[in-house]
Structure 1
Amino acid sequence: MHLQLINAISYFIHLEEEEKEWISSRFIIKKYKKNDYFLREGQVCREVGFIQSGLVRYCSIRENGEDLTLDFNKEMEFTCNYASFLDHSPSTSGIQCLESSTILCISWNDLQELYTHVREGQKFGRLVCEFLYVQAIRKVNSLYNNGPEQRYLQFLNQYAEIASRVPQYYISSYVGIKPPSLSRIRKRLAE
């Protein structure tokens, strides 16, 4: 049941058999229905999840009620509001399941123990943080430097395998435009 998780961690670090068993014992299997929340906006994020199956979106509701889509995670990816998780502050965004999802979860305390129990645990934590930092910088640069069509093409490039699984209004929100504008871009690109 935890083979995908072990493979994902092994992408970053080498794991001994005993470490694989120890890690598997710390990740708890949780099942979510479509539209359930892994994390609600305003809650403190107390666990990191590894998506075994399913799809989630990071979302936030503006004061005017507008529902924003900030990002996505799919199978074989970790999900968490890392800022909330690290400093125990209320989350500024929610994580909603767009499909029925199976997520393997580890608590903050168990993750701290992983860093010390697994020989390369600290290295794993550092490499994941570096990976997330680079992703965040690229996204911010794209928002400031690219137009909507370029951001849509980047979405298709980064999330090609989930584009058909995500409602168009979430994609348009992620790209930063209204649904009719996304329809025009898609039509223009199809010509």
Structure 2
Amino acid sequence: MNQQLIDNISYFIRLSEEEKEWISERFIPRHYNKGDFFLREGQVCREVGFIEKGLIRYFVTKEDGEDLTVDFNKELEYTCNYASFLDHSPSSTSIQCIEPSTILCISYDDLQLLYTHVAEGQKFGRLICEYLYVLAIHKVRSMYSQQPEQRYLQFLDSYADLVPRLPQYYISSYVGVKPPSLSRIRKRLAR
């Protein structure tokens, strides 16, 4: 039984011992090397993953081939392109491992079973969706209403523990500036 996963789910809902065992059997561990993809743009997302170990980034590729980093996830967080997962459409986002990662994966069909087999399974699904919705709204608002320096400060507030683990060009892409501009922002803030 993966205790980290069970503890995470138990934060949201009550689980019986039988339900804990049932859930553990449906989350399959997958190992990824640095640079491996959990999901490529254009593929249909068929699994939700719980990151046991590692760090991933979400990115979109512009027409000119440039990657734009839109998010990060680390240990004890879930990963998925939820729009693709829910409606079985091709993903507009790639999900790539920045570090060697172990991700516990549950299929779409097994997640639907979880919602019915676990007494509070539907509540769990609703709470996760609400949480993701609030995060998405904050990110969209940030991109449209904040200057790059404010977005960088917000990045530091949200992801301070990731700074040593991330290449600077991923951070600058996430903030929405080129690496030299991020360097200038960092110098200004250091004064």
TM-score (norm 2): 0.99
Measured against aligned partners, the alpha-carbon deviations of 1:95-124 in whole angstroms (never above 9, x if no partner) come to: 000000000000000000000000000000
- Residue number in structure 1 paired with 2:64: 64
Partner of 2:9: 9
* Equivalence for 1:174: 174
Q: Name the counterpart of 2:85.
A: 85
Q: CA deviation at 1:39?
A: 0.3
Q: What SS does the corresponding residue of 1:29 show, helix, strand or coil?
A: strand
Query: Which residue does 1:48 correspond to in 2?
Result: 48
Tell me the CA shift for residue 190 of structure 1: 1.2
Is the partner of 2:170 in helix, strand or coil? Answer: helix
C-alpha offsets along residues 29-80 of structure 1, whole Å, 9 cap, x if unaligned?
0000000000001000000000000000001111111111010000000000
Corresponding residue of 1:33: 33
Deviation at 1:154, TM superposition (A): 0.5
- The Cα shift of 1:136 comes to 0.2
Q: CA offset at residue 164 of structure 1?
A: 1.1
Q: What is the aligned-residue identity percentage? A: 73
1:174 deviates by 0.5
Structure 2: gaps spanning 5 or more residues: none
Query: Matched residues in 1 for 2:182 and 2:14: separation?
Result: 43
Q: Distance in 2 between matches of 1:179 and 1:11?
A: 38
- The one-letter code matched in structure 2 to 1:43 is Q
Matched, 1:116 2:105: no
Cα separation, 2, equivalents of 1:59 and 1:142: 17
One-letter code aligned to 2:171: I
Q: CA RMSD in A?
A: 0.6
- Give distance in 2, aligned partners of 1:12 and 1:150: 32
Q: Does 1:21 align with 2:21?
A: yes
Structure 2 SS opposite 1:91: coil
Residue 163 of structure 1: how far off its partner (Å): 1.2
Could you give the per-residue CA deviations for residues 132-161 of structure 1, whole angstroms, max 9, x where no partner exists? 000000000111111001100111110111
Indicate the residue corresponding to 1:140 in structure 2: 140
Cα distance in structure 1, aligned partners of 2:91 and 2:163: 26
Number of corresponding residues: 191
| Matched residue SS, 1:105 | strand
Q: Structure 1, unaligned stretches of length 5 or more?
A: none
